[in-house]
Amino acid sequence: MKRTTLFCHAPLARLAVGASLTLAALGCVAAPVSAFAEPATEPAPAAETRTLNGWATDPATGEDRYFIGGEIANCVFVTDPDTNERYWFENGLFVREHAFFDAATNEWYWADADGTIAHGKDVFIPKDESDRDAGGKWVRIDDDYTMVKGEDCRYGGWYYFDDITGEMLKGFVFVPSNGGKWVFYDYITGQMAHGERYIDDAHGDEPGWMHFDGVTGAVTYGWMDVATDDGTKTVYYDEVTGRMVYGWRDIDGMTCLFDRVTGEAVIRQKVEWVGTEKYTPGRDGNDWERLVIHTTLIDTIEGVDEVFADTNGRSASAHYCVDGTEIHQYVRLEDTAWGVGNWNWNTRTVSIEHVGTRENPATYETLDTSAKLMASLAHQKGWTKLVMGENVDVHSSFTATECPFELDVDWLVERANHYLALGQ
């Protein structure tokens, strides 16, 4: 398509021309212009007529039109040589706030309010050009006037423009780069999210905190250490939704508790199965309804393992034994351990041993580990609080024994309740 550079400033200064217009006024050879004159009386040579370029009043209608080569400019780009801005003419007038298709370049373009063809900027193209409030799409026009398609890094961030329509995408988008990834484009700016971000439900998304890779913007799944005001915290982003999780959850064989407010992982506990032959399958029709606290009087957990493995030894066992950060399990919860010296109560309790002696009672590290275990057991039962004598007790409540000896029972139960509260 022909593009002329003969143009005026915008707003375009109209040439004062009329039926007596001469080509001299347009900087061309002096000769009468007959394009607007009475063609029947004095037809001008066709070659000269085509040299008319610029604004003129069309004598046929009395309206101003832009002419190129003597023809009304129609579906043609015109460049203002002074500003280098391009305009698009239809029926002799340049268009404003209008999307149009140029068959020659096979592209859509947008003419701004001042008529200049948009380039090197983002523009809003309304669905209905007479009603911008009816919605539309944001697109990015490149310096070469064409619409940007696909991923684009500019203005300090990444954006994505629909591969076909050029529409700036917003919200969650699966993009093919980096081997395929879910990313999030801000609903207002369209810019890709990085780092931590709260996703609200204003656009139908599942609300929650998420994390997006600092470089690729990919949704983070699984464990993550995130910065806090006073250090870091470990959180977990759901492996499907990418949302930060709260409360109790089993992950990778670990019982985990995430603070109900901050999402911080406060419990990540693995129980090692050891087993014993010293137990009774089932619970004689009962179910466990109380946790029982013991002290081993054996100073290592390996020693406890040996005692419970010795079928020739004392007929005693427990469901768990705790030492430091370690937890060993010997009897399943649905089975009866020989723990409290009372058959009826054996069938209704979960016995938890703590490595310690009279002189060296269970350490606070051991008690903290046990408190986490007790909290998770309480959670399994739907208990919101452990109360001594109701759902937690000491061995000496059931039989003649001093067990659990010097173990700090009050601290242990209070600590367990602390964890229990974090998950509620």
Question: Can you give the binding site for Zn ion, defined by CB under 5 A?
Answer: 294, 395, 403
Q: For the residues of 32-50, what is the DSSP string, one character each? A: B--SSS-TTT-PPPHHHHT
Query: In this complex, which beta carbon is closest to Zn ion, that of residue 290 or of residue 294?
Result: 294
- Report in angstroms how near the CB of residue 355 gets to Zn ion at its nearest: 12
Contacts of 88 (CB under 8 A, 6+ apart): 75, 76, 77, 78, 94, 95, 98, 100, 102, 109, 111, 117
Min CB(350)–Zn ion separation in Å: 13
| Residue (395 or 415) nearer to Zn ion, CB | 395
Distance set, CA 322 to CA 112, 289, 301, 351 (Å): 74, 20, 7, 11
Q: How far is the CB of 362 from Zn ion (least distance, A)?
A: 12
State the minimum distance, in angstroms, from the CB of residue 293 to Zn ion: 8
Whole-Å CA distances, 180 to 207, 216, 219, 236: 23, 11, 11, 22
Please report how close the Cβ of residue 403 comes to Zn ion at its closest, in angstroms: 3
Kind of pairing, strands 131-141 and 121-128?
A: antiparallel
Q: How far is the CB of 395 from Zn ion (least distance, A)?
A: 3
Nearest 10 degrees: CA dihedral of 250, 254, 255, 261?
A: -80
Closest C-alpha to 141, from 168, 113, 102: 168
Which C-beta is closer to Zn ion: that of 23 or that of 403? 403
Q: Which is nearer to Zn ion, 123 or 416 (CB)?
A: 416
- Taking the mean position of all CA atoms in its chain, how far away is CA 137? 22
Nearer to Zn ion, 194 or 354 (CB): 354
Give the Cα separation of 5 and 391 in Å (integer).
90
Rounded CA separation 293/396 (Å) = 9
Crossing angle of helices 409-422 and 364-381, in 10° steps, is 50
Closest contact distance (angstroms) between CB of 339 and Zn ion is 7
Residue with smaller CB distance to Zn ion, 294 or 328: 294
Q: Closest distance between Zn ion and the C-beta of residue 294, in Å? A: 3
Residue closer to Zn ion, measured from CB, 193 or 403: 403
For Zn ion, the closer CB: 177 or 391: 391
Question: What beta strand segments (E) does 296-399 contain?
Answer: 320-323, 326-329, 336-337, 349-354, 392-394
